[in-house]
Amino acid sequence: MTTATTTVRRGEVTIRDLSKSFTLNGRRLDVLRGIHLDVASGEALAIVGPSGCGKTTLLRVLAGLEEPDRGEVMIDGAPVHGIGRQRAVIFQEPRLLPWLTVTQNVSFGLEVRGQDRASAAEKARHYIRLVGLAGFEDAYPRQLSGGMAQRVGIARALTVQPEILLLDEPLGALDAMTKLTMQEELARIWREEGVTMILVTHDLEEAIFLADRVLVMSKSGHPPRPIEIDVPRPRDRSAPSFVALRRRLMAEFGLH
Ligand SMILES: Nc1ncnc2c1ncn2[C@@H]1O[C@H](COP(=O)(O)OP(=O)(O)OP(=O)(O)O)[C@@H](O)[C@H]1O
Ligand SMILES: [Mg+2]
């Protein structure tokens, strides 16, 4: 008798020879050129790079919101085209529906997928608690602060239990204090949910705080370079290894 050993892969991303260009005023703009990247199941990858280097484009291709010109995105070994249930996207603004309560905003995605209202609401309440919004289930978006609204967006994305969470500067619009708290929360949520996380950020410290690897993209078309973040968790922003990595990343962009 043979024993079948099946490896369970969940949320593993493989990018092969991925290229994407746009045409702007009749000129071709090569934004992504021959990108190769492997993201492990449950890994946290941060993407940093100068404005306009193609971070959002890469994330949109991964989300299936944009088709590449060439190359392939595979999830758990299977090529994907278009959007899919394994992936959820969190943008800079939470894009909540103003006429729905927090619970209704969070459960909406499940109801659209055919889950009955009561069980969708129960699941929504679980994720509302997870993002620290217990007590605000019946509030409307206008009654929330920016940080709270963004938490609702995160809860909404988690409720559909994606394998892969794609985030495009999710904390970019928040004030400095709220941002630090939310970074801690994101680190905890990522750990508790075991989800693969791909996060675009302008904030190098945020990248080092959250990620297993930071992918450095450049505008010159050089292939993106991944940098290992071998700092033990939970991370201390003032630890020497943390500070050294921040210095190294800043040097990548000619900053001191
Ligand atoms: N739909 C589009 N049509 C034409 N050009 C586009 C389109 N989307 C993006 N671009 C161009 O592709 C390049 C990369 O854009 P992208 O939004 O991916 O950059 P980014 O790295 O996310 O920048 P930022 O840090 O400012 O958000 C830019 O030069 C932009 O003008
Ligand atoms: Mg962008």
| Pocket-forming residues, ligand 1, beta carbon under 6 Å | 22, 24, 29, 31, 49, 51-57
Q: Where a domain ends, among 146, 161, 176?
A: 161
Asked, for residue 215, whether it belongs to a domain, the answer is yes
Written as one letter, the residue type at 223 is P
Q: Which of the listed residues 110, 144, 161 is the one where a domain comes to its end?
A: 161
159 CA distance to ligand 1 centroid (A)? 29
Compute how many other C-beta atoms are within 10 angstroms of the C-beta atom of residue 84. Answer: 15
Secondary structure E strands in 52-177? 70-75, 78-79, 87-90, 164-168
Q: Are residues 170 and 49 in the same domain?
A: yes
Cross-sheet strand order for the sheet of 70-75: 27-39, 13-24, 70-75, 78-79
Per-residue pLDDT of the chain (256 residues; tens, 9 = 90+): 445 555 566 999 999 999 999 999 999 999 999 999 999 999 999 999 999 999 999 999 999 999 999 999 999 999 999 999 999 999 989 999 999 999 999 999 899 989 999 999 999 999 999 999 999 999 999 999 999 999 999 999 999 999 999 999 999 999 999 999 999 999 999 999 999 999 999 999 999 999 999 999 998 778 999 999 999 999 999 999 999 999 999 999 888 8
Residue-level pLDDT at 1: 47
Ramachandran bin of 17, using left for φ above 0, alpha for ψ from -120 to 50, beta for the remaining angles: left
**Any idea what the CATH number is for the domain that residue 253 is in?**
3.40.50.300
Our count of domains for the chain comes to 2
Question: Cα(108)–Cα(141) distance, rounded to whole angstroms?
Answer: 14
Residue type, 218: S
- 176 and 62, same structural domain? yes
Domain assignment present for residue 65? The answer is yes
Pair 156, 183 in one domain: no
Residues 210 and 250 occupy one common structural domain: yes
Going by alpha carbons, the residue nearest to atom 29 of ligand 1 is 52
AA identity, residue 79: P
- The verdict on 13 and 130 lying in the same domain is no
Please indicate, yes or no, whether residues 39 and 142 belong to a single structural domain of this protein. Answer: no
Q: Residue 57 CA: which ligand 1 atom is closest?
A: 18
Ligand 1 closest atom vs CA 58:
18
* Residue entry with tokens 């210095």: 247
Please indicate, yes or no, whether residues 44 and 129 belong to a single structural domain of this protein: no
Buried b (16+ CB within 10 A) or exposed e, 200-222: bbebbbbbbbbbbbbbbbeeeee
Pick the residue whose CA is nearest to atom 7 on ligand 1.
22
Looking at the chain, how many residues does it have?
256
The CA 57 to ligand 1 mean position distance, Å, reads 6
**Which residue has its alpha carbon closest to ligand 1 atom 17?**
56
Domain that holds residue 113: 96-161
Looking at 142, 161, 180, the residue that finishes a domain is 161
Give the pLDDT of residue 6. 56
243 with 223, same domain? yes
In ligand 1, the atom with minimum distance to the C-alpha of 59 is: 18
168 CA distance to ligand 2 centroid (A)? 7
Report whether 167 contacts 90 (CB < 8 A): yes
In this predicted structure, what is the pLDDT of residue 254? 87
Q: Whose CA is nearest to atom 9 of ligand 1?
A: 57
Cα 248 to Cα 32: distance, rounded to the nearest angstrom: 24
User: Are 170 and 82 found together in one domain?
Assistant: yes
Q: Does 173 lie in the same domain as 50? A: yes
User: Tokens at residue 222, please?
Assistant: 């050089």
